[in-house]
Amino acid sequence: MMTTLHLKLPSSTFPFTVTQCCSNPKEPSYGRMQAASINGNGHAAGAYPASDLLNPQALVMPPPRPRRIILVRHGQSEGNVDESAYTRVPDPKIKLTEMGKAQARECGQRIRKMIEGDGGDDWKVYFYVAPYKRTLQTLEHLGQAFERSRIAGVREEPRLREQDFGNFQDGQKMKLDKAKRIVYGRFFYRFPDGESAADVYDRITGFRETLKADIDKGRFQPPGKQNQNVNLVMVSHGLTIRVFLMRWYKWTVKQFERLHNLGNGNMIVMERGYGGRYSLLVHHSEEELREFGLTDDMLTDQEWQKHAKIGELNYECPMLNSFFPHLENDTAVAERTHEECSHF
């Protein structure tokens, strides 16, 4: 169904007609939400401000968000089966085992089956990959599930690399360092000559801003297309994936420290919900997410993400109580608070 909008402009501008498709009730109205201005209460103040009507570019529908962001941990590596490998081989050069290659191929098939389950025939996959040997090999074998016509592009992204543990590792010293990390705290402990999870968080923050800009500009879209069925796949490392999710959903340090690594060759899926935001609960069950380490509050927030629209703020954010314990039994907290709990 097509709707024709006749816009009456000042005589100094040329007359024109804008034709747009009516939104599918099953799909979020991305254009209207992203073109809208957001007021202080997190609601759209108006689809098109009057001043924008003088600029035809302001009426161009922004590109749809990718349907999914799929985070994949590399397959089993030589270091996963023999930690002494890190004492003689640089971490970036650690390779996959034969089992790791098989895990990657199987993961690729699972991703393809998931995407094909959408029922669309125009789907594409765009890949990000960390620059380590084991992630590049994982992409190579995972990618065998996709013919060229399905691959929208690929980008090597150094900010998705593994946490830096130093250079060649001393096995005995590393055991002591990991024991210290448990006492000091898994997020803040920095390995000598290496990184802490907090350091990884800083570089993932920069990557997230790049990713957001790429999504907003439609850089994953085929030329001249508005494809709703583009999927992003990021091939990375266990801790990096946990930190990426922490940064995206604004989880606390305490919540991060509850999380577990994905198994080798496994994935966690952020899928577009009813309002256009990404939620882990669209693809995964509550049981799967609890096993990964999500708490009741985190699951409640994921349910909100599943239904909320782009630009909305969660003024009933359940994680508020973790900062203000005295509000735990206050049923009116959502009405009284103006604390912001926003998510991209």
Binding site for substrate: residue ranges?
Answer: 73-80, 134, 173
Which residues are part of a known binding site? Answer: 73-80, 134, 173
Q: Which of 6, 27, 43, 74 is catalytic?
A: 74
For residues 239 and 253, what is the distance between their CA atoms, to the nearest angstrom?
A: 13
Strand order of the β-sheet with 124-129 is 151-156, 124-129, 230-236, 68-73, 267-272, 278-279
338 is a catalytic site residue: no
Q: Phi first, then psi: give them for residue 126, nearest 5 degrees.
A: -115, 135
Residues whose CB falls within 8 Å of the CB of residue 133, separated by 6 or more in sequence, listed in order: 92, 93, 94, 95, 96
Residues whose CB falls within 8 Å of the CB of residue 63, separated by 6 or more in sequence, listed in order: 215, 216, 217, 218, 221, 226
Give the 3-state secondary structure of residue 91: helix
74 is a catalytic site residue: yes
Q: Which of 6, 106, 141, 162 is catalytic?
A: 162
Residues whose CB falls within 8 Å of the CB of residue 316, separated by 6 or more in sequence, listed in order: 304, 333, 334
Annotated active-site positions, please? 74, 162
